Amino acid sequence: MQKLSFFIFFCFILGGCSLSQILLDTDNDGVLNHKDICKDTPLGALVDKYGCALDNDKDGVIDIYDKCKNTLSLDIVDAQGCTQR
């Protein structure tokens, strides 16, 4: 919360931003834009504190699209997150 207060203070001192811009969450992931590293998170995806969609099995396919949620970390997967055979 202290970081947000600091950000708001400097935003108003420097001018050019409003409270509505500060509290904006464009992709509706629950992470405000000024903290959001992943600006276009798919609607409904669970995110980390930086606004990036979770990929719990670390296969490169985010959980919301992952059909095979427990692939091994070294497996080569298809677009649905399933091991290629």
pLDDT digits (tens, 9 = 90+) for 2-46: 666 666 666 666 666 666 667 899 999 999 998 999 999 999 999
Please name which of 85, 83, 82 lies closest in space to residue 65, comparing C-alpha atoms: 82
Question: Can you tell me the mean pLDDT for 40-68?
Answer: 95
Q: What is the pLDDT of residue 60?
A: 93
Segments making up each domain of the chain, as ranges: 1-44, 55-85
Q: What is the pLDDT of residue 46?
A: 97
User: Cα–chain-centroid distance for residue 19?
Assistant: 22
